[in-house]
Amino acid sequence: MEVETTVTTSLPPTDGSAAPDDVAPVVNGTASHAATTDTDATMQDGDAPKQDEDSKDKPVELPEGASEVVYVHNLNEKIHLPVMKQSLKVLFREYGRVLGVTAHRNVRMRGQAFVTLESKDAAVKAVREVQKFPLYGKPMQLAFARTESDALVLKRHPDDMEAHKAARLERKKVSRRENPLRKKKLAQAAAEKTAAETGVPATPAAAAPQRRIVQMPDEYLPPNKILFVQNLPDDTTKESLEALFRPYPNLIEVRTIPGRKNIAFVEFADEQSSGVAREALHNTKFSASGGAAPDTGDEGLKIKVTFAKRG
């Protein structure tokens, strides 16, 4: 049983000191069940957003794509990870029981976290009311995650936990294999190994024949409020794309291309909002008839979501 203490008025440490001993560790997205006491960390930018008293008892209308798992983006990267996790837990439990907070230090996931709540109703209220709430000086961007967290699977389908973890690890492997920078490093290492075995040095770059300049991969284009979506199924419609992107804040317009059903442009109000949608939907599987497609292992179903090139 989790023991709550009164909210403190001191700030979480931000100067490199260790996280408080009473912060429950988070392992694989699930809060530890050790007998610890959570000490509430005060938000640096003021009190947590208060729920509307008139709406507390009203049923929540669930938007399409709603999930118990909330994707949080644009977090202050200077805050120590244990402190940030505890702060998010304190903030989000205003809306319901928090099953787990997941965040990582690696470059790809820096400034992001996943918060798992006990119900979709609680998650919907949190997304609506915490959207753009300033935490440690930065306004948070919120959206619904498209996959279940370990904490949610453990609570609802404990017998499926091993299969869930295996599927998650497989998705991670595929994502790493598709990383263009990793492919380049592997190719370079292979060339150096071949040169060492044969005794023939690799051709210096200066001696190589001139080639036309290679364009920057789409994944590394600068931010743009307009997203370019590729590899869409042939039966994709404007309505199905709107349903896919609608859960993400500040959506303005979805533009399909006549005669080109496999591509589309999606415009948001600003670059931060488009970045949230891009991070959540890039390399996910999509079926025009049913939104997220089942994990069939068919790479052809994965859509590609990148920032549009500037003219």
**Domains along the sequence of the chain with CATH:** 69-154 (3.30.70.330), 226-288+300-307 (3.30.70.330)
* Cα 255 to Cα 210: distance, rounded to the nearest angstrom: 39
CB 120 within 8 A of CB 62: yes
Find the largest Cα–Cα distance for the chain. 78
CB atoms within 10 A of CB 106: 6
* Cα 161 to Cα 258: distance, rounded to the nearest angstrom: 44
Q: How far apart are the first and last CA of the chain?
A: 57
For residue 133, is pLDDT > 80?
A: yes
* Cα 107 to Cα 122: distance, rounded to the nearest angstrom: 30
CB 154 within 8 A of CB 30: yes
Mean pLDDT of the chain: 73
For residue 194, is pLDDT > 70?
A: yes
Nearest in space to 133 (alpha carbons), one of 109, 148, 115? 115
For residue 10, is pLDDT > 50?
A: no
Nearest in space to 95 (alpha carbons), one of 110, 115, 80, 76? 115
CB 123 within 8 A of CB 129: no
| Alpha-carbon 171 to chain mean position | 14
Counting residues of the chain whose pLDDT is more than 90, the rounded percentage is: 33
* Cα 8 to Cα 22: distance, rounded to the nearest angstrom: 13
For the ranges 177-181, 215-219, 255-259, the maximum mean pLDDT occurs at: 255-259
Burial (CB count <10 Å: 0-12, 13-18, 19+), residue 281 = buried
Query: What's the mean pLDDT in 265-284?
Result: 92
* Cα 43 to Cα 263: distance, rounded to the nearest angstrom: 42
Each residue of 145-155: pLDDT tens digit? Answer: 876 656 666 66
pLDDT at 164: 54
pLDDT at 107: 78
3 state DSSP class of 142: strand
For residue 15, is pLDDT > 50?
A: no
What are 82's two structure tokens?
Answer: 């244990």
* Cα 289 to Cα 64: distance, rounded to the nearest angstrom: 14
CB 80 within 8 A of CB 16: yes
Query: What's the mean pLDDT in 52-72?
Result: 73
Q: Which segment of 19-28, 104-113, 120-129 scores lowest on mean pLDDT?
A: 19-28
pLDDT at 1: 39
For residue 42, is pLDDT > 60?
A: no
How, if at all, do strands 98-102 and 69-73 pair? unpaired
* Cα 23 to Cα 90: distance, rounded to the nearest angstrom: 11
